[in-house]
Chains A and B, each alone.
Chain A
Amino acid sequence: MPRPSATEPAPDQPGGQPGAGSGPLLRFAAASKRYSSRDFGDRWAVREVDLSVLAGKTVSIVGESGSGKSTMIRMAMGLITPDEGSVEFGGQQWSRLTRKERRAQRGRIGMVFQEPFGALDPRQRIWEIVVEPLTVHQRGISKPERQERARQALELVGLNADMLKKLPAQLSGGQQQRVGIARAIVGRPELVLLDEPTSALDLSVQAQLLELLVELRAELATTYVLVSHDLHVAAYLADQVLVLKDGTAMESGTVDEVFDSPASPYTRELLRAQLG
């Protein structure tokens, strides 16, 4: 089977701003990650995957469990290094950076996790949680300033200032996830990674959060990389889609291309299996 091409827009497609920085914001080049185990031998979590994400775009990585999508998003963050190939952020390969440089680069990326409550330190106040990226990367800001930035971030995600001093357990699932989003954007990152951000939430709450993500994207002009097992969510948010199965890229292209004329039989099967 021919390897699917990297996701890059055709020259005549509108995308990015004129004169934007050269090269994609995030790039996977034949990235592979292997896990060895005594009992089961080698298993490829991700195998020779190419993906280019241009600034301002939303790319969704779609697949079922075990497809490697969670591994990919951690590779995008530099938390997992590929065994073969490379992953570049902002033109720099994660594996070429020192640990300190990697940590610094993460200041330019925000991440939202699947678990609304689990992703928040249960013993910290909401404002402390939201403002952690600033505490880590911008040492100079005073505490009252940080609280103000937290308040602004909460406002952006539709939460009241009276949430600032609360503990995570006092919030509903939807509110907790909004806090997670506030934390991801408080440092105005260039890239936001979203690992199944709504799959643990009720349908109506999911709809609210999806709408919020669309608003934020317009307001902050960030790039999103979204991992999802739900094709409808991917189709709603993303410009481009990468379909993964067992670590291998099955298909990639714009949302319309993949949904209207899927080239891979696996994509067709996935589309057929989606209910509702």
Chain B
Amino acid sequence: MIGEVIQPAGGPAGQPWRNGQAATRLLSGTRGNSALIAACVWLVGSVLAAVVAPLPYSPTAPNPAAVLAPPSGAHWLGTDQNGTDVLSRVIAAASNDIPLALAGALVAAILGGAAGVALSRDGRITDACMRLLDLFQSLPVLVVALTIVALAGSSFTNVVVALGLIMIPQFVRITRAEALVVRSHRFIEASDAIGASGLRVTFRHVLPNVMPVVLAQLSLSAGMGLLAIAGLGFLGVGVQPSTPSWGLMLNGGAQFIGTGQWWVLIPPAGAIVLSVLSFNALARGLQRLLEKEPRDL
């Protein structure tokens, strides 16, 4: 306290922060949040567009009359080797890939986060678990995912599970590190001094304070998961061939780059890049927003 720079207490006009105010601050476009807004618009918008809005053309119906047509007024991004409109297909794929990535990350966040918090207490069990984690983390992501899906079969659930399992170690480490920091704070000791049980301290004090980190990591992992899904799709694994998916489109479009039909490959690639960047921006924005929320200015 002594020698601190003076800061007015509370938010503007001394109002207490409420969870809703986070949204207001977000929309008011405070410093650095424009990237966050753009990210949300892309992620939410692309999924919604695929689900709600009528697409210009059917994303799955082949049209032999217009195979490999270049971008034009009728087809904004041209057509692919089956005559399907590229734009419609790219948008439709969003409703498949993005939720898949998020689902996988969510599974990892819930399981890994819980494990991380549980492992933040000292003990021999903790040491053993951390070494097992090291082992698990030494396996290459894509290879393991590939193996699981190849063995279990291509379906939405299997991909989610595979992704989730692979991403768990990251969550465990990050959550555990943050939980250890939180546990070193005086208010944790204060709860012990009150006579609170270990369980109460963990759920009422450690977990809420660890949340910002988990949410930020969730978004980052979703981005990585998306790359993994695209990789799987490119290799022809992961989802049924009839379901539009960016990875699958990459697979189909790769061969046409040499012959000059760039519009089959570039749009899905661009969509992947945009989505991963959006997840990263979301992570950064969440971190800043949630760290700032209980403090002021």
Chain A interface residues (CB < 8 Å from chain B)? 77, 79, 102-107, 109, 111, 113-116, 118-124, 132-133, 136-137, 165-173, 180, 183, 200-202
Across the interface, do B186 and A170 meet the contact criterion of CB distance under 8 Å?
no
Determine the chain A residues whose CB is within 8 A of the CB of B9 once the complex forms: 170-172
How many Å from the CB of A273 to the closest CB on chain B? 20
| A167-B16, A170-B14, A171-B9 known; A122+B294 contact, CB < 8 A | yes
How many Å from the CB of B90 to the closest CB on chain A? 41
Which of B57-65, B81-89, B188-196 sits within the interface?
Answer: B188-196
Determine the chain B residues whose CB is within 8 A of the CB of A118 once the complex forms: 185-187
Across the interface, do B1 and A202 meet the contact criterion of CB distance under 8 Å?
yes
Which size bracket describes the interface of B in this complex?
20 to 34
| A165-B16, A169-B294 known; A77+B208 contact, CB < 8 A | no
A interface footprint on B74-85 (CB within 8 Å = 1, 0 otherwise): 000000000000
Q: Which one of B16, B185, B195 contacts A166 once the chains associate, using CB atoms below 8 Å?
A: B16
Q: Which one of B194, B200, B205, B296 contacts A169 once the chains associate, using CB atoms below 8 Å?
A: B296
Determine if B209 is an interface residue (Cβ-Cβ < 8 Å).
Answer: yes
Query: How many angstroms from the CA of A29 to the CA of B193 in the assembled complex?
Result: 22
Determine the chain A residues whose CB is within 8 A of the CB of B294 once the complex forms: 122-123, 167-169
183-226 of chain B: CB within 8 A of chain A? 185-187, 189-197, 200, 205, 208-209
Least CB separation from A162: chain B residue: B16
Across the interface, do A106 and B194 meet the contact criterion of CB distance under 8 Å?
yes
Determine if B10 is an interface residue (Cβ-Cβ < 8 Å).
Answer: yes
Across the interface, do A133 and B194 meet the contact criterion of CB distance under 8 Å?
yes
Query: How many angstroms from the CA of A133 to the CA of B194 in the assembled complex?
Result: 6
| A111-B190, A170-B10, A170-B296 known; A122+B209 contact, CB < 8 A | yes
Determine if B136 is an interface residue (Cβ-Cβ < 8 Å).
Answer: no
* Seed contacts A79-B193, A124-B208, A136-B194; 9 additional CB < 8 Å A-B pairs: A105-B195, A106-B193, A113-B189, A118-B185, A120-B190, A123-B294, A132-B196, A169-B295, A173-B1
Determine the chain B residues whose CB is within 8 A of the CB of A137 once the complex forms: 195
Query: How many angstroms from the CA of A180 to the CA of B186 in the assembled complex?
Result: 12
How many Å from the CB of B191 to the closest CB on chain A? 7
Across the interface, do A103 and B197 meet the contact criterion of CB distance under 8 Å?
yes
| A118-B185, A122-B294, A166-B16 known; A103+B190 contact, CB < 8 A | no
Determine the chain B residues whose CB is within 8 A of the CB of A116 once the complex forms: 1
Chain B interface residues (CB < 8 Å from chain A)? 1-2, 9-11, 14, 16-17, 185-187, 189-197, 200, 205, 208-209, 294-296
Determine the chain B residues whose CB is within 8 A of the CB of A106 once the complex forms: 193-195
Determine the chain B residues whose CB is within 8 A of the CB of A202 once the complex forms: 1-2
Determine the chain A residues whose CB is within 8 A of the CB of B200 once the complex forms: 136
Determine the chain B residues whose CB is within 8 A of the CB of A170 once the complex forms: 9-11, 14, 16-17, 296
Least CB separation from B11: chain A residue: A170
Least CB separation from B2: chain A residue: A202
Determine the chain B residues whose CB is within 8 A of the CB of A171 once the complex forms: 9
Q: Which one of A119, A167, A172 contacts B187 once the chains associate, using CB atoms below 8 Å?
A: A119
How many Å from the CB of A139 to the closest CB on chain B? 12
Residue from B2, B14, B294 with most neighbouring chain A CB atoms (10 Å) = B294
How many Å from the CB of A192 to the closest CB on chain B? 11
Query: How many angstroms from the CA of A166 to the CA of B186 in the assembled complex?
Result: 20
Determine the chain B residues whose CB is within 8 A of the CB of A79 once the complex forms: 189, 192-193
Determine the chain A residues whose CB is within 8 A of the CB of B205 once the complex forms: 121
Determine the chain A residues whose CB is within 8 A of the CB of B2 once the complex forms: 200, 202
Determine the chain A residues whose CB is within 8 A of the CB of B194 once the complex forms: 106-107, 111, 132-133, 136, 183
Determine the chain A residues whose CB is within 8 A of the CB of B195 once the complex forms: 102-107, 133, 136-137
Determine the chain A residues whose CB is within 8 A of the CB of B208 once the complex forms: 121, 123-124
Least CB separation from B206: chain A residue: A121
How many Å from the CB of B53 to the closest CB on chain A? 39
